[in-house]
Amino acid sequence: MDIKKLTISQAKEDLKNKKYSSVELTKAYLERIKQLEPHVKAYMTVTEEEALNNAKEADNKIAAGEDLPLLGIPLSIKDNFSTKGIRTTASSKVLDNYIPPYDATVVERLKNAGIVLLGKTNMDAWAHGSSTETSDYGASRNPWNTEHLPGGSSGGAAASMAADETLGAIGSETAGSIRQPASWCGVVGLKPTYGRVSRYGVVAMGSSLDSPGPITKTVEDSALILQVLAGQDPHDATTGPNPVPDYTKNLAHDIKGMTIGVADDYFEGVNPEVKASVEDALKTFEKLGANVKTINLFSPKYAIAVYTILQRAEVSSNLARYDGIRYGNDRSFLGDEAKRRVMLGTYTLSAGYYDQYYNKALKVRTVIIEDFKRAFKDVDLIISPTSPTTALPVGATENQSMFGELADVLVEPSSIAGLCGINVPCGFSKAGLPIGIQIIGPQFAEETILNAAYEYQTENPLYLKKPNL
C-alpha cells in the first residue's frame, strides 16, 4: 500500500475489497505523521488511540457488510472544530487546556459517516491570519519547501494533506482560509456557499462569513466529503433548507457550452508566473469546450476595506465570551493579532463610528453581492488566480498587520458575497511551488463548480506530483 498514491475514493474501494484493513491504513498514516511532523508541524494534537479505536470499529462494520460514506477513512480536522473529549484550542493559549463536552455538527456528521480521526491541525490563532504564523504554538511549514509558509488560516489542514499525513482534511474559510492554503500547498480546497454547511460547534471568527469545507487531493474526494457535511442543521439557523444533491453524480459531465467569466481586475498585481499558469488553465477550459469571456467586476481591492471592518466587528463580539470565567484562560493570553482585531472591531462598532464605518461596510457588501449577481446572469462561473503569489517564506508576516487581507484579496469578494468556490492546482513556479486557480459559482452552485473543477483536474492531474519530503 502506497498511501501517497491513495485518494479517498480509491481507499474506499480497497477497504471494501479487503485489500487492507482500516487499522493497517490508519497505522500507515500515523507512522507518516511521526516521521514528518518535526518538519511539517501540521498537527496540534495527534489522536493515535482514538484513531486506532475508530479503525477497529470501521473494520468490524466493513466485515458486517455496512457501507457508510467514509467508513474507515482517516481524516484530519482543523483545531477550531469542537471535538468531544479531545483538546480544542483554535491554536490560542486562551483555550490551551479546553476539552469540549460536545462535537461540532461537522464532526458529528463525519463520525456518523465512519471516519477515522487522526488528529487536530494547526491554524492561525482564532483563524486570524493567512499563514499559521499567528498560531500560539508556532507556524506550520509548506511540504513543497519547509522554508515557506502553507498559508492559512487552515494552513495545518492543507499541509497535512499535501504531506500525505491524512487522506482528507477539514478546514474552515472566512475569507480565503480554505482556498488560499490549498493553493499554496497544491491541493484541492472547497469553500461551500455560506449556510451550506453548519457552523455549530466551530469556534466563531466572522459569524456572517465562516464556512467549513474539505481540503483533499482530488475534486472527487471533496465532493464525497461535502456530501456528508452539507445540509440544514437545527442548531444553526443560518443553514439553508436547500436540498442536498448527489455531488458525485454530475462530476464527469462535459462542460461544452459552459461560459466562464474572467475579470481583468483579478489579474492586477499578480505574480507573472501565477498569471501565466492561470492563463494556460483557461486555454484548457476552452479546449474542453467552455467559452471564456471577459467580464467587468468590482476590483477585489474594495473587498479588503469591507472585510476588514465587518470581520473585526464580528471578532470583537465573538471573542468577548473568552473572559476566563466560564472556560479557558483570561484575556491576557490573547495574542497580538487578536488584540488588534478586537480593538479595531470595538472601535468600528462604537457610538459615533457605527454609521461611519460598520453600516457603510454593510452597504458596500450589498453592492458587491449585486455585482456578482449581475455577472452570473451572463456567465456560469468565474475563474481567477486564487492567490496573487505562490507560498511566501517563513517570517513574511512579520510587521505586516494587513498580511492576511492582501494575501486573500482575490478570494475575499466571493466570501463576502457568500458564494461557493474551489481551488484546483494548475501549475508550479520555477522554484517548484504550487499555483492554483479558483472557480467561483453562484450561491448553492457547488455541483457546477465541482463539475468544472473535475473536468479540469482530469485533463491536468497535478495531484499525482508529490513534494520531496
Known catalytic residues are 78, 153, 177
Would you state the cell numbers that stand for residue 206, as one nine-digit string? Answer: 466572522
Element (H, E) at 368: helix 360-375
- 43-46/211-216 β-pairing: unpaired
CA-wise closest residue to 26 among 45, 2, 54, 7: 54
For 171, list phi and psi in degrees, rounded to 5: -125, -175
* Residue 415, CA atoms < 13 Å, CB-side half-sphere: 36
- Residue pair 297/266 in contact (Cβ under 8 Å)? The answer is yes
CB atoms under 10 Å from CB of 112, counted, come to 13
Would you state the cell numbers that stand for residue 40, as one nine-digit string? Answer: 511539517
- 420-428/381-385 β-pairing: unpaired
**DSSP codes joined into one string, 375-439:** HTTT-SEEEEESSSSSPPBTTTTTT-TTHHHHHTTTTHHHHHTT-EEEEEEEEE-TTS-EEEEEE
Element (H, E) at 191: strand 188-191
- 291-295/259-263 β-pairing: parallel
Q: Which residues contact 468 (CB under 8 A, 6 or more apart)?
A: none
Report which DSSP code applies to 448: H
**DSSP codes joined into one string, 280-295:** HHHHHHHHTT-EEEEE
Would you state the cell numbers that stand for residue 455, as one nine-digit string? Answer: 473536468
CA angle, 462 then 38 then 217, to 5° = 20
